[in-house]
Amino acid sequence: MNSAPGSAADITADEWERAVVSIMEAEAVCLACHICPDGDALGSMLAFAQALQALGKPFTASFGDAFVVPRILRFLPALDLLTHPDDYPAEPDVMVTFDAASRDRLGSLAANVRKAREVIVLDHHSSNTRFGTTHLVDTGAAATAAVAERLIGRLGVPLTHDIALDLYVGLITDTGSFKYAATTPDVHELAGRLLATGIRPESVAREVWDRAPFGYLPVLSAALGRATLEPEVAGGLGMVWTTVTRADRAACGLPYDLLEGVIDIVRRTDEAELAVVFKEDDEGAWQVSTRSRGRVDVGLACVALGGGGHPGAAGFTLHGDVAHAVQQLRELFAQIEVATRS
């Protein structure tokens, strides 16, 4: 196994120092987060953009095509600081990437990473490929937002309400509202400092978790209605899986980016260690979410299928047949389970 879940490959003092010096000495800094950004990717980057603004440092912040902010994140502070990727410097001097485990997760901005003189990779994925020149990668961190907060502190920028809110959204999305194993005392300590700036947790939770248009209900019903339980997968640990098709969404006018929560309902299944949801996007590709209760490393399985993620939560993009991918997952989960037991 090349990944030890929960092992903290912490960041050296030298790397912190190099990152701080590069940013302070740069004339301008280019920021990028992973494509189809989640709360952690976009929240970390927008918090950092505000820190650079406070320092008076010119910056560009963006993410690769398609440049569309997901609906549930449209309440984040500082969205107006984003630049369209078409207007991104082709050859950045200093670039900082957020929550991207590999260069290809930056989509169209991967080309800009190749041309950048210096690339500071700020992340927490155990599958991180260390594609930069300086690596602020803490695989023990619950969220990239937690690493970003440390860098903001080292740059001497105080936490404003708006910086804290962007970081808080990263922290709650990646810990599933402080439910996942990565929710350490340090996570609560950080959340406490963020809340102290005046954040109202109930209004953030309402935006992130507790709202959807009515059309979400029939789409959810269709997806749950065809869920399949396979108790024999992974040596008897069990897998539950389902699909959400374009046709389901078209019938209710539901946009793709409102499907993030479906996996959280499917993964409740007591009889299954593993949960998988295939979500068909507007182009007809399947965005696949996988979750594990801890005895099977889904990150390894998703890396094998061209994606990535964490031991407990990972994903990949599928351009082929769902039935074939389910078969591949059955085989991978069997191997990974055997490997983790031995």
Q: Rounded distance, CA 245 to CA 222, Å?
A: 9
- Pick 92 or 315: Cβ nearer ligand AMP: 315
User: Distances from the Cα of 233 to the Cαs of 83, 224, 315, 322, 330, in angstroms?
Assistant: 45, 19, 18, 17, 6
- Token look-up 């929710």 returns 183
Q: Is 317 in the site for ligand AMP (CB under 6 A)?
A: yes
| Three-state secondary structure call for residue 314 | strand
Q: Rounded distance, CA 37 to CA 106, Å?
A: 10
Q: Is 260 in the site for Mn ion (CB under 5 A)?
A: no
**Residue number closest to Mn ion, CB atom:** 40
CB 49 within 8 A of CB 59: yes
- Pick 46 or 272: Cβ nearer Mn ion: 46
Q: How many CB atoms lie within 10 A of CB 231?
A: 12
Q: Give me the least distance between CB of 305 and ligand AMP, in Å please.
A: 9
What's at 73, amino acid-wise? Answer: L
- DSSP alpha helices (H): ranges in 26-143? 39-55, 110-115
Contact with ligand AMP (CB under 6 A): which of 310, 311, 312, 329? 310
- Pick 60 or 126: Cβ nearer ligand AMP: 126
- Pick 317 or 328: Cβ nearer ligand AMP: 317
Paired residues of 136 in beta bridges: 122
**Residue number closest to ligand AMP, CB atom:** 315
Residues 261-290, one symbol each (x = binds ligand AMP by CB under 6 A, - = not), give --x-------------------------x-
144 binds, among Mn ion, ligand AMP, none (CB under 5 to 8 A by kind): Mn ion
Site residues for Mn ion per CB under 5 A? 38, 40-41, 99, 144, 174
Interface residues with ligand AMP (CB under 6 A) are 105, 263, 289, 307-310, 313-317
